[in-house]
Amino acid sequence: MAMLARVEGEASMRVRVDGDEVTDVELRVFEPPRFFEGLLRGRAWTEPPDITSRICGICPAAYQITACQAIEDACGVVIPPELAALRRLLYCGEWIESHALHIYLLHAPDFLGYQGAIEMARDHRPLVERGLRLKKAGNEILSVLGGRSVHPVNVRVGGFHRLPTRSQLTALRETLTAALDDALATVTTVAAFDIPDTEHDCEYLALRPAQGYPIEAGRVVSSGGLDFGVFDFEDAVTELQVPYSTALHARLKGGQRYLVGPLARYSLNCAALSPLAAQAAAAAGLGPVCRNPFASIIVRAVEVTYACEEALRIIGEWQGAAAAAVPVPARAGTGYGATEAPRGLLYHRYQLDSGGTVTEARIVPPTSQNQLSIEHDLRTFVQARIGLPEPELTRQCEQVIRNYDPCISCSAHFLDLTLERR
Amino acid sequence: MRKLAVWKFASCDGCQLTLLNCEDDLLPLTDQVEIAYFPQATRAVAAGPYDLSLVDGSITTPADAERIRQVRAVSRRLVSIGACATAGGIQALRNFSDIGDFSSAVYARPEYIDTLATSTPVAAHVPVDFELNGCPIDKDQLLTVITAFLRDSKPDIPSHSVCVECKQRGTVCVMVADGIPCMGPVTHAGCGAICPSYGRGCYSCFGPQDTLNTRSLAGRFAFLGMPEPAVARTFRTFYAAAPPFATESSMHSGGGR
Ligand code: SF4
Ligand code: SF4
């Protein structure tokens, strides 16, 4: 493959044009594979949370919590509600940190016409400072509950190593009260951006819990009427390998492409938003369903608002716990876990032998699920702008890709666009 | 202004994210140094050469083995950051296995995947001026390193063990008091001894320190009742391919090549 001789960047896009018609779009991802599913084989059942955390430095808690759930499921253990609440609190921190990073440092510069946040800060310092403050508030939850923000150390199968103290939680409450104001201001700011008017038509897939907005639990539902338990995930979704990318491509068993992430979560669950978040969404002009990928920045801001309110609620109701963790003795079996990582549904499955050794692991991250929809969006988008000069087309395509906040968003800053005209 | 570049190889992005996580210091830093190349943060690119290059990630593909040479060529100083860049990272577990098995556990068509059989640190390919440990690195240490190199001095990064940091912060030893196996005695300082302060043994995400005795620690683990394969795995995780840990892990059953 000639493309492997590239010197820079982990993503490239190839568009084939026949006359005036875009016939094919390929988004090639060159993220060097790290083979997590292979290296987990032979590890102990207590290890996947820390190991899979290293898949992504931006959403490590998502990997840790999903791994814990799947292993507890394999071992037949359900953690008590007070520990589940702390997991949800930790996860709120990650949503705030990850969404603030994406909104302010990656996505807003596209809307305001800057190359990046550092350039944007020269003209909009208070705006960038607000983003960094919000991000820091999210990281503070991760640091208090997890010990540090990147790859927290306090999460374990069965719960936590140590419980937070009352005074730590009280201090967090102050930070979060201020963060809530910043979050509401964020919704107002991004709602005023010039959002291109466009809609896409793919199927939305997200978790839906019995109560509240989906974060760390729920059944899997879709806009096409799917509704199943997490253990049926691999019956509903297939992952295919394509020769031009190291990211696998997922589709529904019927062959349809689908989308996970903030747009899907919001459209399938907005009735479960907290009062302030719901109000902010309405004021920003979001209806009950959002099909404009460019408006995902507004949805993220609404979700940050929700995460702040939800974190405050959990801290307010916290009564302590009998123990930091419950025992999870190993047994042979298979377990499933799914949570809503900031970028969308994340699925883990582990098979254990009777001594607790992992014999098989399956991890389906959000980016591979969204790959086909991103390609589809790009095709429609390029078709409508086929006359643009290439540098401008490249810049705009990068923005389309950043709408989805893919894990390759950083490398998408170096989208290498090839137009093949026939 | 001096030019800073940040490059990514096989990694989780966590170490370069640490730079963006310097929330309070980030904008003041950009007043002192030009962020000339940092795709995680900006699409703007200033031409090299760069005064300081930070490299996150390990070398795992033929293309990356070539790219790291080009990065070195345009960098006046090069600092590798994190376990991936300094020791091969968690993905170096492939070095102890058959890469074909690993690839076919993930991909139906492993032949489409262009990868090397090993994950190696940056220093195995080009000379590096400094290595900063951690999975992830610590943000204060990162700032120390950047500031030092911008002043053309060597950064002052202590090389003692995590045990010293436990003493400094007054944490009671988890191994002595509770019999919890802890890698602290052989692990490079830098995190501030986070795990023991959470009642957990260190799992060595900062890698081996300079003067260490893995043999006696492994003996201690056995005394505490840790089975052989678990001893092997404990030394073979985030710094699996760092020579002192690779040697120790291969001495325990279940830790063969
Ligand atoms: S050393 Fe750890 S935190 Fe840093 S990039 Fe590698 S996996 Fe991520
Ligand atoms: S105590 Fe050890 S495992 Fe924990 S953060 Fe520090 S170096 Fe890493």
CATH at residue A241: 1.10.645.10
CA distance B118 to B235: 18
* Sequence-ordered list of residues with C-beta below 8 angstroms from that of A392, at least 6 positions apart, any chain: none
Exposed, middle or buried, B74 (CB in 10 Å: 0-12/13-18/19+)?
Answer: middle
Cβ–Cβ below 8 Å for B114 and A116: no
| Integer angstrom CA distances of residue A65 from A53, A151, B237 | 9, 12, 20
**Cβ contact, residue pair B108, A32, below 8 Å:** no
Ligand nearest to the CA of B7: 1
In a domain, A4, yes or no: no
pLDDT of res. A66: 98
Q: Does domain B2-150 have CATH number 3.40.50.700?
A: yes
Q: Which atom of ligand 2 is nearest to the CA of B196?
A: 1
The C-alpha of B215 sits at a distance from chain A's nearest C-alpha, in angstroms, of 22
In our burial notation (b when 16+ CB lie closer than 10 A, e otherwise), range A217-238 reads bbbbbbbeebeeebbebeeebe
pLDDT at residue A231, rounded to an integer? 97
Q: Is residue A114 part of a domain?
A: yes
C-alpha distances out from residue A76 to A100, A236, A334, A336, Å: 36, 24, 10, 11
Q: Which residues of chain B have pLDDT under 50?
A: 257
Yes or no, beta carbons of B91 and A37 under 8 Å apart: no
In which band, very low, low, confident or very high, does the pLDDT at A408 lie, cut at 50, 70 and 90? low
CA of A406: how far to CAs of A359, A410, A412, B175, B254, in Å?
A: 29, 9, 9, 42, 38
Cβ-Cβ contacts under 8 Å, B64 against chain A: 32
3 state SS of B194:
helix
Residues of chain A in contact with residue B119, where contact means CB-CB under 8 angstroms, are 34
Q: What are the strands, taking DSSP E only, across B50-188?
A: 50-56, 75-81, 130-132
Most confident of A31-45, A96-110, B103-117: A96-110
The percent of residues above 70 in pLDDT, for chain A, comes to: 92
In testing the pocket of ligand 1, which one of B9, B13, B15, B93 has its CB within 8 Å of the most ligand atoms?
A: B15
- Top mutation candidate among B6, B11, B21, B142 for ligand 1, by most atoms within 8 Å of CB: B11
Of the listed ligands, the closest to the CA of B89 is 1
Q: Is the CB of B163 under 6 A from ligand 2?
A: no
Complex ipTM: 0.95
Burial label for B37, CB within 10 Å (0-12, 13-18, 19+), is: buried
CA distances A294 to A103, A280, A403, B155, Å, are: 12, 18, 6, 44
Beta bridge partners, A140, equal none
Among B93, B119, B253, B257, most A C-beta atoms within 10 A, so best to mutate, is B93
C-beta atoms of A33 and B200 within 8 A: no
B23, B24, B84: which is closest to B54 by C-alpha? B84
* Stronger pLDDT, A273 or A401, i.e. the higher one: A273
**What is the total count of domains within chain A?**
1
Considering only the beta carbons, identify the residue of B26, B43, B200 that sits closest to A116: B43
For residue A351, report the phi and psi dihedrals to the nearest 5 degrees: -115, 130
Q: What is the pLDDT of residue A264?
A: 98
DSSP state of B135: T
Coil, strand, or helix at residue A172?
A: helix
Per-residue pLDDT reduced to its tens digit, B22-70? 888 988 998 899 999 988 788 888 888 999 999 999 999 998 999 999 9
Distance B73 CA to ligand 1 centre (A): 24
Whether A275 maps to a domain, the answer reads yes
| Cα distance between residue B121 and residue B68, in whole Å | 11
Kindly state whether A175 is in contact with chain B, defined as any CB-CB distance less than 8 angstroms: no
Q: How many residues appear in chain A?
A: 422
A408 and B CB contact within 8 Å: no
Higher pLDDT, A227 or A6: A227
Question: Does A389 score more than 90 pLDDT?
Answer: no
The pLDDT assigned to A412 comes to 46
Query: Does some domain include residue A267?
Result: yes
3 state SS of A43: coil
Instruction: State mean pLDDT over A327-340.
Output: 98
Q: Which residue has better confidence, A345 or B1?
A: A345
pLDDT digits (tens, 9 = 90+) for A131-176: 999 999 999 999 999 999 999 999 999 999 999 999 999 999 999 9
Cα(A237)–Cα(A252) distance, rounded to whole angstroms? Answer: 4
B199 burial via Cβ count (<10 Å: 0-12, 13-18, 19+): middle
Mean residue pLDDT across chain A? 90
Residues in chain A within 8 Å Cβ distance of B40: 410, 413
pLDDT at A252 over 50: yes
For chain B, the 3-state helix, strand and coil shares in percent, each to the nearest 5, are 45, 15, 40
What are A266-318's pLDDT values in tens digits? 999 999 999 999 999 999 999 999 999 999 999 999 999 999 999 999 999 99
Q: What whole-number distance in Å separates Cα of residue A45 and Cα of residue A67? A: 10
**Cβ–Cβ below 8 Å for A51 and B237:** yes
Q: pLDDT by residue (tens digit) across A173-228?
A: 999 999 999 999 999 999 999 999 888 888 999 999 999 999 999 999 999 999 99
Report chain A residues whose CB lies below 8 A from the CB of B15.
57
For chain A, what percent of residues have pLDDT higher than 90? 68
Alpha-carbon distance A422 to A416, whole Å?
Answer: 19
Q: What is the nearest CA distance from A332 to chain B, expressed in angstroms?
A: 18
Measured distance CA(B9)–CA(B64) in Å, rounded: 7
A39 contacts B102? CB cut-off 8 A: yes
Instruction: Determine if ligand 1 sits within 6 Å of the CB of residue B15.
Output: yes
Q: Which two tokens stand for residue B80?
A: 């590798």
DSSP assignment of B138-149, as one string? Answer: PHHHHHHHHHHH
Which residue of chain B is at minimal alpha-carbon distance from A243? B112
Tokens of A391: 């540098």
Say which ligand is closest to the CA of B191: 2
A37·B135 Cβ contact <8 A: no
Residue matched to tokens 């290439």? A390
Between A294 and A26, name the one with better pLDDT.
A294
Alpha carbons B207 and B197: distance in angstroms, whole number:
19
Say which DSSP state A116 is in: B
Q: B257 C-alpha vs ligand 2 centroid, how far in Å?
A: 26
Alpha-carbon distance A344 to A262, whole Å? 7
Domain ranges of chain B: 2-150, 162-250
Radius of gyration of chain A (CA): 21
Largest Cα–Cα distance in chain B?
Answer: 57
Is A196 strand, coil or helix?
coil
Q: How far is CA B175 from CA A168, A324, B24, B200, B217, in A?
A: 26, 19, 36, 9, 11
CA pseudo-torsion sign A413, A57, B87, A43: negative
Q: Do A37 and B105 touch (CB under 8 A)?
A: yes
User: pLDDT value at position A11?
Assistant: 67
